[in-house]
Amino acid sequence: MLQSQQNAQTSERSRVLILANSCVHILYGVTTILLVSFAAVKLAQNETHAENGIQKNWENNMIIDIQSSRYDTCPLGYESMFSFEWPGTIPACNCQLWNENPTRPHGPDGEFTQTNQNTHNLSEQDIEEQKEEKESKSNNQGNFIQNHLKKQQFNQEDNYKQEKQQENKDEKIGDAKKQDLKKQINHPKRNKLDQVNVAYNQPNPYQPSKEDLLAKLKKYGQENKIYTEGICNWNQTQAGCVDIQPVKQQSFTKWKQRLQWCVARAQAVNMSIMQKYYDYENGICKDENLRVCGDPEDKNYQYCFPKQYTQCPINGILITTTPPRGQEQLYYQSRPMQFSRNQMLYVSRNLPKQMPLSDFLVAEDSVCIEDPKNNISKDHQDYYLLKSQRKRCSSNITDDRYVIIDSQGEQSFYYNNFALQYRDQLPDFTLNNTYIYNLYKHQYIYWKHECDEYMSYFLSDKDFDQFYTRQRTLKIITYVISIVTIMISTFELLLICRVPMVLRFEKVILQYNPVIVFVLQLIVLPFSAAALHQANVLYNIEKQLSLKQCTDEFTLKLIGTGSIQIHQEIKNFNKGQIIFICLILLANAINFLLTLCCSQSSAQPKKKRRASTY
Encode pLDDT of 126-149 as tens digits: 555 555 555 544 444 445 445 555
Q: What CA–CA distance (Å, rounded) separates 53 from 62?
A: 17
At 9 the three-state DSSP class reads helix
With a threshold of 0.75, does the pTM exceed it?
no
386: β partners: 89
At 85 the three-state DSSP class reads strand
CB 94 within 8 Å of CB 233:
no
For residue 94, give every residue at least 6 positions away whose Cβ sits within 8 Å of its Cβ, in sequence order, or none.
144, 148, 226, 241, 242, 243, 244, 427
Amino acid identity of residue 112, one-letter, is F
At 162 the three-state DSSP class reads helix
* φ/ψ of residue 80, rounded to 5: -60, 140
Which of 228-250 are b and which e, b meaning 16 or more Cβ less than 10 Å from the residue's Cβ?
eeebbeeebeebbbbebeebeee
Q: What CA–CA distance (Å, rounded) separates 528 from 168?
A: 93
- Reduce the secondary structure of 176-213 to three states and give it as a string: HHHHHHHHHHCCHHHHHHHHHHHHCCCCCCCCCCHHHH
Element housing 607 (H / E): helix 553-613
Q: What CA–CA distance (Å, rounded) separates 105 from 113?
A: 6
Query: Which of 279, 273, 345 minimizes the C-alpha distance to 316?
Result: 345
At 249 the three-state DSSP class reads coil
First to last CA, the chain: 22
Instruction: Give the strand order in the sheet containing 79-80.
Output: 61-69, 260-270, 79-80
Which of 316-326 are b and which e, b meaning 16 or more Cβ less than 10 Å from the residue's Cβ?
bbbbbeeebee
Residues (pLDDT < 70) of the chain are 1-18, 21, 39-53, 97-208, 210, 395, 456-468, 493, 495-499, 501-514, 521, 525, 528, 531-532, 535, 559-578, 580-581, 583-585, 587-614
Q: What CA–CA distance (Å, rounded) separates 235 from 223?
A: 12
Element housing 257 (H / E): none
Q: What CA–CA distance (Å, rounded) separates 529 from 578?
A: 11
Q: How many residues does the chain have?
A: 614
- Exposed, middle or buried by CB within 10 Å (0-12, 13-18, 19+), for 461? exposed
Q: What CA–CA distance (Å, rounded) separates 15 from 21?
A: 10
At 374 the three-state DSSP class reads coil
Q: What CA–CA distance (Å, rounded) separates 11 from 509?
A: 15
CA 599 distance to own-chain centroid: 64
CB 434 within 8 Å of CB 409:
yes
445: β partners: none
Q: What CA–CA distance (Å, rounded) separates 496 from 358?
A: 66
* φ/ψ of residue 460, rounded to 5: -90, 130
For residue 41, give every residue at least 6 positions away whose Cβ sits within 8 Å of its Cβ, in sequence order, or none.
none
357: β partners: 443
Question: Domain coordinates of the chain in residue numbers?
Answer: 2-62+453-613, 96-106+142-244, 251-448
DSSP state of 394: S
- Exposed, middle or buried by CB within 10 Å (0-12, 13-18, 19+), for 501? exposed
CB 354 within 8 Å of CB 331:
no
- Exposed, middle or buried by CB within 10 Å (0-12, 13-18, 19+), for 63? buried
Q: Give the pLDDT of residue 395.
A: 67
CA distances from 534 to 468, 564, 570 (A): 9, 13, 10
